[in-house]
């Protein structure tokens, strides 16, 4: 392109270059010039100004869901020593979990611990399990989530019960 074309493009009034009706362009240019010449309005000073003030507060349900998703991701990754990629992922998950802990949001799952009806959990099912002698939490579907020692979400678990011992054949009553 010749330099004269660029000079014409940059120096000509925009209203002449546009193929639109001149009135809306002239009005827009006048408004723009008016806004440029007006000094910016002073913003009122607020004590809570900053990024934290403009960010919406996280509600309890959102925090509970976030903690649950992090817990599930950590459970699914398994042993971090098996693979370097897994180790990096676990490090990131644990970092996010530590951030939640600074907000006093923690998860608890009670896996492989004795079942106590007073725990803040909902039993999905009781099922016989070999090798246990008392009711034990054998699977956690969803962990309990606490914030500042306040329950946000109860755990959902499967409780294993001792298998029934078959009665000896000679002790059955005969009718």
Q: Set out the domains of the chain in order of their start, with CATH numbers.
A: 7-34 (no CATH), 58-162 (2.30.22.10)
Which residues, listed in sequence order, are joined to residue 129 by a DSSP beta bridge? 162
Instruction: Label residue 34 by pLDDT band (50, 70, 90).
Output: confident
What value does the mean pLDDT take over residues 40-45?
58
Neighbours of 12 (CB within 10 A): 10
> Nearest-CA neighbor of 79 among 69, 71, 90?
90
Classify residue 20 by its DSSP letter: S
Q: Mutual orientation of helices 60-77 and 84-102 as an angle, nearest 10°?
A: 160
Instruction: Label residue 144 by pLDDT band (50, 70, 90).
Output: very high
- Token code pair at residue 160: 């294993």
CA–CA gap between residue 124 and residue 6 (Å, rounded): 74
State residue 57's pLDDT score: 72
Asked if 14 and 22 count as a contact pair (C-beta separation under 8 A), the reply is no
């Amino acid at each position: 392109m010749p330099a004269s074309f660029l000079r014409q493009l940059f120096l000509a009034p925009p209203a002449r270059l546009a193929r639109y009706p001149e009135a809306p362009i002239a009005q827009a240019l006048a408004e723009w010039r008016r806004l440029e010449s007006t000094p910016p309005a002073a913003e009122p000073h607020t004590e809570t100004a900053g990024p934290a003030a403009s960010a919406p507060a996280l509600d309890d349900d959102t925090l509970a869901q976030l903690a649950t998703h992090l817990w599930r991701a950590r459970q699914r990754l398994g042993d971090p020593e098996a693979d370097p990629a897994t180790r990096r992922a676990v490090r990131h998950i644990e970092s996010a979990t530590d951030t939640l802990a600074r907000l006093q949001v923690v998860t608890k799952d009670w896996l492989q611990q004795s079942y106590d009806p007073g725990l803040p959990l909902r039993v999905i099912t009781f099922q016989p399990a070999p090798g246990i002698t008392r009711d034990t939490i054998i699977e956690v579907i969803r962990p309990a989530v606490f914030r500042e020692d306040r329950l946000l979400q109860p755990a959902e678990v499967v409780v294993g019960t001792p298998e029934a011992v078959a009665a000896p054949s000679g002790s059955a009553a005969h009718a």
